[in-house]
Amino acid sequence: MGKVGVAVAAAGAAAACVAAAVVVGRRVRRRRKWGKVLGVLREVEEGCETSVGRLKQVVDAMAVEMHAGLASEGGSKLRMLLTFVDNLPSGSEKGTYYALHLGGTYFRMLRVKPEGQRSLALARDVERQLIPQHLMTSTTEDLFDFIASSLKEFVEREENGSAFPLDRRRELGFTFSYPVKQTSVSSGILIKWTKGFAIEDMVGKDVVDCLQQALTRKGLSMRVSALVDFPSLVNDTVGTLALGHYHDADTVAAVIIGTGTNACYVERMDAIIKCQGILTSSGGMVVNMEWGNFWSSHLPRTSYDIDLDANSPNPNEQGFEKMISGMYLGDIVRRVLLRMSQESDILGPVSPKLLTPFILRTPLVASMHEDDSPDLAKVAKILGDTLEIPDVPLKVRKLVVNVCDVVTRRAARLAAAGIVGILKKIGRDGSGGITSGRSRSDVRIKRTAVAIEGGLYTNYAMFREYLNEAMVEILGEDAAEQVILEVMEDGSGIGASLLAASHASHGPDAAQML
Ligand code: ADP
Ligand code: MG
């Protein structure tokens, strides 16, 4: 080989070296970026850690806070509101009962016809009506006249042909989802309006009186017997408990896990220290915990939770709800993906959509999490369509599924800890209660049912599985066998009408709650 040949060969070798170096450099950089992203995932996993030990701390904290909230007004972040519901449907109810549910946009009317013996398939008619916008800022009389007229039409239409004794009064359960201070099961003063309503002359008035007067004006004879009140997003726990108790007398608590989360349960009157002197025939009362506002230092909180809270309209409130409910899970996942995208380019340039709060809704998280196609096609489609992140490689799709899993698993396990907290407070967790020193093996747990409602629990199978799994881990297999989680459908409507029925039949027929 001549001189020229050597030079060419050397140049070729050098070029090959450079190319190799570039490839290696790229690979190293890619590996470093991937390492960073895995670091973010690991951090989230650690931050969301819910070992059984930690869950048991949450259980104890829930039971302790329940005590504190019952001891004094403002004694805990758990408001532990009295509902004055002191008896629950027993299943023996018979007849025709109505319910009216005034929600944010719609009001619903229901007619339920229980036939005794826990008639399982309850015959029912439901009608939903949009609340005309102008009535939301009009007068009390206008709003309730409209409701009363619709109800009259509904009642008359449904009863056409069937003989409803003219002299018999109809019972109506009324679910009213605005902050109300209740003084009995059938009276409550409106504290303030929320969700777009602004009828000033009604603030300070008794909600049930307003309805009753309108019904009289319209010539409809109805006794408004149960006002179910929840000063929060969720307003159906007591209805769910009522429906649960109708089907299963061992039902002692109800939990809603939907857009928001809340729980209620049956408490002994003598344990409600902040309200001494009220006697109930059953010796108990349903307490609306408003558990979405529960807080404990044992809750596993990440920087994403802190940011979400700080940017919310109600910082430092509804802390438990912000870790658990359907309104928030999607946004926690979005925040983690945003951070991953900012730390590396595995998701391409940071998509503006990733910066948009609440764009990734929880049902989409569920779809990605439960995508069982080999190439995770649904994940790719949701990332592309909703977050405008195209062409995501399989490895990265898997990572996204991981994030959904971590966030959902924590939510479900914390909800389970909350439920066991209630059971512990009322001595139904198999541990002998929080003051007893007895060991687990001495205590036999009574069969106990908890009614559950809400779109997150009913539609998201992985959430449900994680929740159920955590119940067994916390309670142990023997005790867990005695605890039954029963899904209720439309407790806020049907449950309210059944409450009307059980209140109508008060007296000897009233169910024992305790
Ligand atoms: P609400 O709580 O508003 O009364 P639902 O009980 O029906 O209404 O719950 C609705 C919530 O449930 C939605 O906001 C959503 O977060 C959640 N959800 C609904 N469908 C799904 C789904 N397929 N997967 C996961 N979450 C869902
Ligand atoms: Mg609901």
**So what's the pLDDT on residue 313?**
82
**So what's the pLDDT on residue 12?**
59
Beta strand segments in 428-499, E:
448-453, 483-487
For Cα atoms 232, 236, 240, give the angle at the middle one, nearest 5 degrees. Answer: 150
Which residue has better confidence, 183 or 58? 58
Residue 123, token pair as written in the block: 């015959």
Q: Which residues of 295-334 are buried (b: 16+ CB within 10 A; e: fewer)?
A: bbebbbbbebbeebbeebeeeeebbbbbbbbbbbbbbbbb
Distance of alpha carbon 221 from alpha carbon 203, whole angstroms: 25
For residues 96-101, average pLDDT: 87
Which residue has better confidence, 2 or 322? 322
For Cα atoms 323, 358, 354, give the angle at the middle one, nearest 5 degrees. Answer: 110
Ligand 1 site, residue 504, Cβ cutoff 6 A: no
Mutate to test the pocket of ligand 1, among 259, 404, 460, 463 (most ligand atoms within 8 A of CB): 259
Which residue has better confidence, 130 or 360? 360
**So what's the pLDDT on residue 511?**
52
Ligand 1 site, residue 362, Cβ cutoff 6 A: yes
Please give the distance, rounded to the nearest whole angstrom, from the Cα atom of residue 491 to the centre of ligand 2: 8
Please name the residues in contact with 119: beta carbons below 8 A apart, sequence gap of 6 or more: none
Using the atom order of ligand 1, give the atom closest to the CA of residue 329: 16
Which residue has better confidence, 330 or 120? 330
**So what's the pLDDT on residue 442?**
52
Ligand 1 site, residue 230, Cβ cutoff 6 A: no
Tell me the ligand closest to 328's alpha carbon.
1
Q: What's the pLDDT band for 7 if we cut at 50, 70, 90? A: low
Nearest CA to 102 out of 29, 172, 28, 184 is that of 172
Per-residue pLDDT tens digits for 164-222 = 555 566 788 888 767 677 777 778 888 877 667 789 999 999 888 898 899 889 988 77
Please give the distance, rounded to the nearest whole angstrom, from the Cα atom of residue 262 to the centre of ligand 1: 14
Q: What's the pLDDT band for 291 if we cut at 50, 70, 90? A: very high
Which residue has better confidence, 443 or 430? 430
**So what's the pLDDT on residue 234?**
28
| Among the ranges given (155-169, 261-275, 324-338), the one the predictor scored with the smallest mean pLDDT | 155-169
Ligand 1 site, residue 103, Cβ cutoff 6 A: no
Tell me the ligand closest to 233's alpha carbon.
1
Which residue has better confidence, 403 or 96? 403
Distance of alpha carbon 98 from alpha carbon 493, whole angstroms: 9
Please give the distance, rounded to the nearest whole angstrom, from the Cα atom of residue 325 to the centre of ligand 1: 9
DSSP 193-229: --TT---GGGTTSBHHHHHHHHHHHTT--EEEEEEEE
Q: Which residues pair with 81 in a beta bridge?
A: 288
Distance of alpha carbon 70 from alpha carbon 344, whole angstroms: 50
Mutate to test the pocket of ligand 1, among 324, 328, 365, 459 (most ligand atoms within 8 A of CB): 459
Ligand 1 site, residue 366, Cβ cutoff 6 A: yes
**So what's the pLDDT on residue 96?**
85
**Segment of 95-109, 152-166, 484-498 carrying the highest mean pLDDT:** 484-498
Residue 463, token pair as written in the block: 């959430």
Distance of alpha carbon 482 from alpha carbon 493, whole angstroms: 28
Ligand 1 site, residue 407, Cβ cutoff 6 A: no
Which residue has better confidence, 101 or 441? 101
**So what's the pLDDT on residue 190?**
85
Q: What 3-state class would DSSP assign to 417?
A: helix
For residues 455-468, average pLDDT: 97
For residues 335-343, average pLDDT: 97
Q: What's the pLDDT band for 82 if we cut at 50, 70, 90? A: confident
Torsion, Cα 338 341 347 349, to 10 degrees, reads 110
Please give the distance, rounded to the nearest whole angstrom, from the Cα atom of residue 261 to the centre of ligand 2: 9
Per-residue pLDDT tens digits for 260-285 = 888 999 999 999 999 887 777 888 99
Tell me the ligand closest to 459's alpha carbon.
1
Ligand 1 site, residue 261, Cβ cutoff 6 A: no
In percent, the amount of the chain with pLDDT more than 90 equals 55
Nearest CA to 496 out of 101, 74, 3 is that of 101
As to burial, measured by CB atoms within 10 angstroms (0-12 exposed, 13-18 middle, 19+ buried), residue 55 is buried
**Where does residue 51 fall: left (phi above 0), alpha (psi -120 to 50 degrees), or beta otherwise?**
beta
Q: What's the pLDDT band for 13 if we cut at 50, 70, 90? A: low
What is the chain's mean pLDDT, rounded? 86
Q: What's the pLDDT band for 431 if we cut at 50, 70, 90? A: confident
Task: Report whether pLDDT(238) > 80.
Answer: yes
Please name the residues in contact with 7: beta carbons below 8 A apart, sequence gap of 6 or more: none
Please give the distance, rounded to the nearest whole angstrom, from the Cα atom of residue 77 to the centre of ligand 2: 22
Give the DSSP letter of residue 498: H
Whole-model pTM: value is 0.87
Ligand 1 site, residue 326, Cβ cutoff 6 A: yes
**So what's the pLDDT on residue 231?**
25
For residues 336-353, average pLDDT: 95
**So what's the pLDDT on residue 164?**
57
Ligand 1 site, residue 456, Cβ cutoff 6 A: yes
For residues 464-486, average pLDDT: 97
